Structure 1
Amino acid sequence: MSFSLPIILFLGIVLLIFSFFTVKQQTAAIVERFGRFKSIRHSGLQLKIPLVDKIAGRLSLKIQQLDVIIETKTLDDVFVRLKVSVQYKVIKDKVYDAFYKLDYPHDQITSYVFDVVRAEVPKMKLDDVFVKKDDIALAVKAELNDAMLDYGFDIIKTLVTDIDPDPQVKAAMNRINAADREKTAAQYEGDAQRILIVEKAKAEAESKRLQGQGIADQRREIARGLEESVDVLNRVGINSQEASALIVVTQHYDTLQAIGSETNSNLILLPNSPQAGSNMLNDMVASFTASNQIGEAMKENKKKKDS
């Protein structure tokens, strides 16, 4: 009897220890009694009957994510791989359904994702798959919500996180994109060259206009100077013809003097003999005289015809 009491006390302590268990935050524990469902315990210190009750399993109530990769074909016969991320959690009030109705919830969710994606993507062209990926995700979520709600799972969100076409198709798309960019760049370069040509032509036209205006102003001033020179010579008794000849000869000698002052000049003015000035003057006077005589004769003839 002396040995049985410590043994009984020891067994009692062991049974007492095994009567208590803890459940973590955001977790649910399923308790069975003799293999039959007894209760669901949530976070905190819990009590069960040793050797009678047992913890059949634990379910996390946190949001979980399942990534599903599907390969399918688009409307324009392009094979594409899609990665669909499904975020879900066990509904707190439906832990029983989530634990007892499905052995492998991941497989169930994966099957529904495959079914929806392979029904939606073949209706779209490849470009539309990229544009309407949110529509695909919404269709998957709607289908999963209807199917998984009865099993105690809530589908929080579905996302199409990756769209990966066949490598040859991607290479072709890259070439098309590069060609479009080169075409756009060529158009911009052409526009820039056209603008440069137009602006250059405008600048040249403006330069020519200003140059012509300058030449006209220069000639106008030369003519005004010659007129003033002739007036001065007329006031000292030199007629207009002689004055014009004298001015031309003076400009001739001024030109010779300017050429002589340039040491590296290769310009030769002809005629350039010592008597060239006098000959030029005589020729010009003779020319003016002959011109006047012809003009007077024409006037006389005209008068005779008029009379």
Structure 2
Amino acid sequence: MGNVFLYVVLFFALLLLLSSFFTVKQQTAVIVERFGKFLSIRQAGLHLKIPIIDKIAGRINLKIQQLDVIIETKTKENVFVKMKVSVQFKVIQDKVFEAFYKLEYPHDQITSYVFDVVRAEVPKLKLDDVFERKDDIAIAVKRELNEAMTTYGYDIINTLITDIDPDIQVKNAMNRINAADREKSAAEYEAEALRIRIVAKAKAEAESKRLQGQGIADQRREIARGLVESVDILNKVGINSQEASALIVVTQHYDTLQAIGADTNSNLILLPNSPQAGSDMLNNMVASFTASNQIGESIKRGNQNRENQKHKKPKHDNPSHEELPGEIIE
């Protein structure tokens, strides 16, 4: 019986001895209390405490933590939006006592400050400005949190606005506006491209017409120069200008007939094309030239007579009027 009691005592003594030792993980702090009163803060490593008298009151995580806060608020134009604010914070290693004893629910405290700041800043801005100035809102949240939470031993590392979600109807309206703007820009670009193509085509056609006209003018100039040379050569052999011109026209007539006959697939018919046509054409042209010369001479004589009548000196009844040499009396 005595041996059993001894074994029990040894067993409880061993349990007490083992309970005297405890370990603290890295990036963790342990609060030790004695009879309910704060005793010490233990950092990472192996530690010893008095069994039954001392106890571990709590463990504080010294790592950086993140708290996501979802807030619903409205903008200046009364558009409701949901915002997700991510707060990254940690316990200051030198202020573990304040973090453990002064603040019981740090997450709730941080959430309250985030709500307060966001609902004070966002109603001042329009919806577009909320998207553009979300960094300014995040900075305001961080500044307010730091001022409040440092007292409780918490350091705010960063605040990020990770999502801005307007009401579904507002989102659809914004999408329609953006789509309309893009369609408008696309239409403007297409119209500008079409205008450029039209202008370029018009310039190309104008240049083509100019070159074509220049080519035709050069061709006619060379034809006229060749005709002049041909007439000069025929004049040297005793053929006058009218006969030479008629001969050249008849020659071109037969050259045209020869060119048409050379193309077996041509459907062109030149009328008249009989052997008598060349002779008739020559006679008609000679007669036309003669008649034209006669008409021209008649017109020339008529113009000369009118000029003479205009400059003829009239007779005056008054003998005392003395005409000056070369004076024209109207």
TM-score, L = length of structure 1 = 0.94
Query: 1:299: Cα distance to partner?
Result: 5.1
In structure 2, how many angstroms separate the alpha carbons of the residues matched to 1:270 and 1:3? 150
Q: How does 1:89-168 map to 2 (within 5 A)?
A: 89-168=90-169
Which residue of structure 1 lines up, in the alignment, with residue 12 of structure 2? 11
Which residue of structure 1 lines up, in the alignment, with residue 222 of structure 2? 221
Query: 1:6: Cα distance to partner?
Result: 4.7
Query: 1:53: Cα distance to partner?
Result: 0.5
Query: 1:90: Cα distance to partner?
Result: 0.8
SS of residue matched to 1:218: helix
Which residue of structure 2 lines up, in the alignment, with residue 276 of structure 1? 277
1:53-102 CA-partner distances (Å, limit 9, x unpaired): 01011001111010000111111011100001111111111111111112
In structure 2, how many angstroms separate the alpha carbons of the residues matched to 1:285 and 1:188? 66
| Cα 1:3–1:275 shift into 2, 3 Å | closer
Query: 1:8: Cα distance to partner?
Result: 4.3
In structure 1, how many angstroms separate the alpha carbons of the residues matched to 2:303 and 2:5? 171
Which residue of structure 1 lines up, in the alignment, with residue 70 of structure 2? 69
Which amino acid is 2:76 matched to? Answer: L
Which residue of structure 2 lines up, in the alignment, with residue 39 of structure 1? 40
1:195-251 CA-partner distances (Å, limit 9, x unpaired): 011001000000000000010011111111111111111111111111111111111
Which residue of structure 1 lines up, in the alignment, with residue 81 of structure 2? 80
In structure 2, how many angstroms separate the alpha carbons of the residues matched to 1:160 and 1:180? 27
| Cα 1:275–1:136 shift into 2, 3 Å | same
In structure 2, how many angstroms separate the alpha carbons of the residues matched to 1:120 and 1:247? 99
| Cα 1:180–1:232 shift into 2, 3 Å | same
Q: How does 1:168-187 map to 2 (within 5 A)?
A: 168-187=169-188
Which residue of structure 1 lines up, in the alignment, with residue 323 of structure 2? none
> In percent, how many aligned pairs have the same letter?
77
Which residue of structure 2 lines up, in the alignment, with residue 231 of structure 1? 232
| Cα 1:128–1:221 shift into 2, 3 Å | same
Unaligned runs of 5+ in 1: none
In structure 1, how many angstroms separate the alpha carbons of the residues matched to 2:138 and 2:303? 107
In structure 2, how many angstroms separate the alpha carbons of the residues matched to 1:252 and 1:30? 125
In structure 2, how many angstroms separate the alpha carbons of the residues matched to 1:196 and 1:70? 54
Query: 1:7: Cα distance to partner?
Result: 4.5
In structure 1, how many angstroms separate the alpha carbons of the residues matched to 2:81 and 2:37? 47
Which amino acid is 2:142 matched to? Answer: K
The more displaced of 123-132 and 11-20 is 11-20
In structure 1, how many angstroms separate the alpha carbons of the residues matched to 2:298 and 2:118? 112
Unaligned runs of 5+ in 2: 313-330
SS of residue matched to 1:21: strand
In structure 2, how many angstroms separate the alpha carbons of the residues matched to 1:299 and 1:90? 122
TM-score, L = length of structure 2 = 0.88
Which residue of structure 1 lines up, in the alignment, with residue 325 of structure 2? none
In structure 1, how many angstroms separate the alpha carbons of the residues matched to 2:225 and 2:240? 18
In structure 2, how many angstroms separate the alpha carbons of the residues matched to 1:193 and 1:2? 110
